A and B are shown apart, each in its own frame.
Chain A
């Protein structure tokens, strides 16, 4: 496996009374598309800002591209694109001025890509950045972060202010970007249905702790929804399945969420119970709820 581009070791960060990050250990390998999910205030943005050196850890180490985050220089930062959750932009400039200003820093700025985004996102170049709607600002922030085709892209709530059409466009764009297998992307979002379409790796955070750091397929294979329908009218009071996470029952029917299941074993058990089973994978939203409430 390639060397990790981000290594966090026992990172702790506190803001006043709030423990924003607590003993976070993380390795991010190149080429991954990572979903970072968690409730508001769970430490997602704090974690991302540590990676790019905007925040400094109280304890522990954070190394990005082989360099301590606090000492990241122009050569490392020029490889990272970042969409800010709060959409901090230079409000007094026009869109054209801002794009020209940011692009001046990057040797590999792709003007064709810039033009494509401007036309796709329908951004007016003459408008003042400060007068843009939240959605337009977010589109502009995405353009600025992607315009130089960074090898490491950090998207902190990139679609939160976008309307459904713009969100679909953004997802298409993201799907286009991930065709390049060398690019690493972290996407933090509350819209889990969008995230699950693109990610291959998942980080789940809760109250500053990293609850899960696993491949998305691994998590999906860990849990399943099992629909059991009795063929003779009734189900036994005790269902013989191991590691039941959740169970809803009606007469002759049960819907279960199981952990660490084996399809073959389930089929054998169904035969002994004289019932019909249907196995479904769980959507990210449900997987997230299970992991967080455990």
Chain B
């Protein structure tokens, strides 16, 4: 089996990855749009695509290298490097063709474009070899793109390519050579062999994700100097001990403990407050028709809810029947929804207090004014979360499908939000019925899972 076939076979077997290929394919028209519309002054969008291709190609190599005893395979040291570079040549050779659309630039510039693309591709490849849990690229990538476009650094690079093509080729070739040497090192395969890491391609593997999350949790809990988990434990234990044995109250508190205790135990309140503070301030300055982008916070909990299984550890036998589990899951879902909505309402309230205090900012001739969050959109979070809980509980072993459904739901909400903004729908009138429908559907799904489905193991 040749290298290409071996890799393609691996890709084909991970069918859920096709979602990622689809996402990348969707980027092609967006990135090449300036060329098709004959806007020749900016056409380095293809570098983003090179970067993404590098990330995926290296991620695939990482998947193969991390298999037990992969270093015993013949040519194990050479194959990842060969595959990454060969794919890079093909991808960037094709993407470099965008230079042909620029008037006055001939075929040699395709070569320059391909070399520059190769550097971005290899940077992406570097990210593909990293653990996604601690991959700074994931956070930095959108920021870098946004910053580059805003500060027009792509124009500067584009000008450098056009004015000094030879120097750019030399620098790019040198960087590529460094990557070539690094990827050909002796211990590469042994370094990654058997390593449990959540690479970009691991996303469809439920068992792997679960294993990695727990390992990460144990690592983070072990590092904490003052175990917050003790406070969480004492809080729930006190409530459990106040309830009678075999009562639903004890079961509900115990259930809430195992649903939320894991996340609460590693909660870093100060870091979280800082993160949300920055989020609300920065996005408050980005607005359209006086509506701040920070309002997106109202629909972000779908990501939290979409990951939270209200029936965790289904295989553990506790003195709680299926009916008790249903009751406890509903109580947990309701509690988490109300607390999350309350937290967002508090953030929205703080943003209202900040509105008169924060000054306008002028950047490159544009003036940005701060806009507060609209607190009445809290009512969007309330019907949204139960639906996400229900999806996560219904398909706990299909992480990619959960993400797709959650994102789909977010788009529905954005549509709803836009319709509310332009006055097509009466927000206050529709919310009570949406609340009833969403909670009704969620309760039916939860009841079905608790009462009719097998729990644990193959179930």
Where the two chains meet, the residues of A that have a C-beta atom closer than 8 Å to any C-beta of B are 15, 20, 45-46, 49, 52-56, 70-78, 80-82, 84, 86, 88-94, 97, 100-102, 104-107, 128, 130-131, 145
Contact = CB atoms under 8 A, between A and B. Distances in A.
B291 to A, nearest CB: 40
B237 A128 contact: no
B261 to A, nearest CB: 7
Residue of A78, A92, A97 with most partner-chain B CB within 10 A: A92
A56 B317 contact: no
Contact of A92 (B217, B237, B247, B455): B217
A131 B314 CA distance: 21
A128 B265 CA distance: 13
24 contacts: A20-B458, A45-B457, A46-B458, A54-B455, A54-B457, A54-B459, A55-B454, A72-B322, A74-B320, A77-B319, A80-B317, A86-B457, A88-B315, A91-B217, A94-B229, A101-B233, A102-B318, A104-B237, A104-B240, A104-B250, A107-B246, A128-B221, A131-B218, A131-B222
Residue of B258, B318, B452 with most partner-chain A CB within 10 A: B318
Contacts of A88: 313, 315-316, 456
Nearest to A129: B218
Given A78-B246, A88-B315, A70 B451 contact: yes
B112 to A, nearest CB: 51
B214 interface: yes
A56 B454 contact: yes
A93 B222 CA distance: 11
A104 B451 CA distance: 25
Contacts of B218: 91-92, 128, 130-131
Contacts of B257: 101
A91 B213 CA distance: 10
B167 interface: no
A82 B317 contact: yes
A15 B458 contact: yes
Contacts, number: 124
Given A56-B454, A75-B319, 20 more contacts: A20-B458, A49-B454, A49-B456, A49-B459, A54-B315, A73-B324, A74-B320, A86-B315, A88-B313, A88-B315, A90-B313, A91-B214, A92-B214, A101-B233, A101-B237, A101-B258, A102-B318, A104-B254, A105-B254, A106-B319
A53 B458 CA distance: 14
Contacts of B456: 49, 54, 84, 88
B321 A73 contact: yes
A90 B317 contact: no
A170 B249 CA distance: 35
Nearest to B454: A55
Nearest to A73: B321
A190 to B, nearest CB: 17
A256 to B, nearest CB: 42
A101 B254 contact: yes
A70 B453 CA distance: 10
B245 A52 contact: no
B227 to A, nearest CB: 9
Contacts of B261: 92-93
Residue of B247, B452, B456 with most partner-chain A CB within 10 A: B456
A77 B322 contact: no
A77 B250 CA distance: 15
Contacts of A49: 454, 456-457, 459
B269 to A, nearest CB: 18
B320 A77 contact: yes
Interface in B214-255: 214-215, 217-218, 221-222, 229, 233, 237, 240-241, 245-247, 250-251, 254
A88 B177 CA distance: 48
Interface of B: 214-215, 217-218, 221-222, 229, 233, 237, 240-241, 245-247, 250-251, 254, 257-258, 261-262, 265, 313-324, 451-459
A20 B265 CA distance: 39
B165 to A, nearest CB: 54
A88 to B, nearest CB: 4
B241 A104 contact: yes
Contact of B250 (A90, A105, A131, A145): A105
A52 to B, nearest CB: 6
A221 B151 CA distance: 89
Contacts of A71: 321-323
Given A101-B237, A128-B221, A55 B457 contact: yes
A267 B237 CA distance: 69
A87 to B, nearest CB: 9
Contacts of B322: 53, 70-72
Contacts of B265: 92
B314 A54 contact: yes
A75 B457 CA distance: 24
Nearest to B236: A101
Contacts of B453: 56
A81 B322 CA distance: 17
Contacts of A20: 458
A105 B246 CA distance: 7
A73 B251 CA distance: 12
A217 to B, nearest CB: 31
B43 to A, nearest CB: 49
Nearest to B240: A104
Given A53-B322, A82-B317, A104-B240, A130 B214 contact: yes
B316 A97 contact: no
Contacts of B324: 73-74
Given A92-B217, A128-B221, A54 B318 contact: no
B320 A97 contact: no
By Cβ-Cβ distance, the 9 closest A-B pairs, closest first, are A78-B319, A74-B246, A82-B317, A73-B321, A130-B218, A88-B315, A91-B214, A107-B245, A74-B319
Contacts of A90: 258, 262, 313, 316
B320 A100 contact: no
A77 B318 contact: yes
A52 B317 CA distance: 8
A54 B458 CA distance: 11
B454 to A, nearest CB: 4
Contacts of A81: 317
Contacts of B319: 74-75, 77-78, 105-106
A90 B323 CA distance: 22
Nearest to A77: B319
A92 B260 CA distance: 11
Contact of A100 (B215, B237, B459): B237
A279 B454 CA distance: 48
Given A104-B237, A104-B240, A105-B245, A72 B313 contact: no
A81 B317 CA distance: 8
Nearest to B314: A54
